[in-house]
Amino acid sequence: MSLNSGTDLSYIERRVVKAFYNYSEGDYESCALQLFPALDNTAKRRFGGGVGKRIKSFLSESSPMITFIATSNIMTLKIGVKPMLDILYDQVRTSIVHEGRVDANFTWTTDGSMRLSEDGANAMPHDFLFGMLISVLTAPENASLRSLNKSEYLTFTHIPRQPLPRRKFWLSHLWGAEDYLYAEISLAMNKVVHRAALGS
């Protein structure tokens, strides 16, 4: 991954680019700290309404992209004793806003393992952060955004068993390019993949 931030980026661009830097450096807490304001801003323009509902709606609708990027499979974020959707909102987003850190009972894993438990000690692969970042980056609401440095790119080669093409995806081409990325995912999965219907 190679990312170089410019000086006149918009609020969302700054957050997203910083989050990618944090992710590439293994600083997942700082990545989440940058990610969720950008995600909320994007979700507000898509759904409006209260913060909790709009963030969960955005994550739920984007779940095919997020889970495919994170796990190379497509799944709902509503599975688990406590659904992943609620874990991401309560133990990551809300804890960061109110405590300045991810909940002490939540862990990002680097080996792809996941733990969804009744006692609240939950763990998810750190690549879910990458998937959420990509969902914000490619959201149609952000189509007008363009990073200034045209040499910025990202790859998916660091994710085990990830079938997306092992090539550079230029950041300046991915802003708002949700349809394009879903087309790439569809080719990799050999079936049509698109946003999840809310409520599914």
Where b means 16+ CB within 10 Å and e means fewer, 22-53 reads: bbeeeebebbbbbbbbbbbbbbbeebeeeeee
pLDDT of residue 5: 42
What mean pLDDT is predicted for residues 159-167?
69
What mean pLDDT is predicted for residues 101-130?
91
pLDDT of residue 10: 84
Task: Give the model confidence (pLDDT) of 32-89 as tens digits.
Answer: 999 999 999 999 999 999 999 999 999 999 999 999 989 888 888 887 778 899 999 9
pLDDT of residue 90: 94
Task: Give the model confidence (pLDDT) of 124-143 as tens digits.
Answer: 999 999 999 999 999 999 98
Where b means 16+ CB within 10 Å and e means fewer, 134-162 reads: bbbbbbebbeebbbeeeebbbebeebeeb
pLDDT of residue 51: 94
If DSSP codes are grouped into helix, strand and coil, which group holds residue 74? coil
What mean pLDDT is predicted for residues 157-169?
70
Q: Report d(CA 6, CA 140) in Å as an integer.
A: 22
Return the structure tokens found at 17. Answer: 């680019």
Mean pLDDT across the chain? 86
pLDDT confidence of 153, banded at 50, 70, 90?
confident
**Are residues 1 and 20 in contact, defined by beta-carbon separation less than 8 angstroms?**
yes
Is the predicted pLDDT of residue 197 greater than 70, yes or no? yes
Element (H, E) at 28: helix 28-47
Pairwise pLDDT comparison (7 vs 97), residue with the higher score: 97
pLDDT of residue 88: 94
Question: What pTM was estimated for this model as a whole?
Answer: 0.89
* Distance separating the N- and C-terminal Cα atoms of the chain: 33
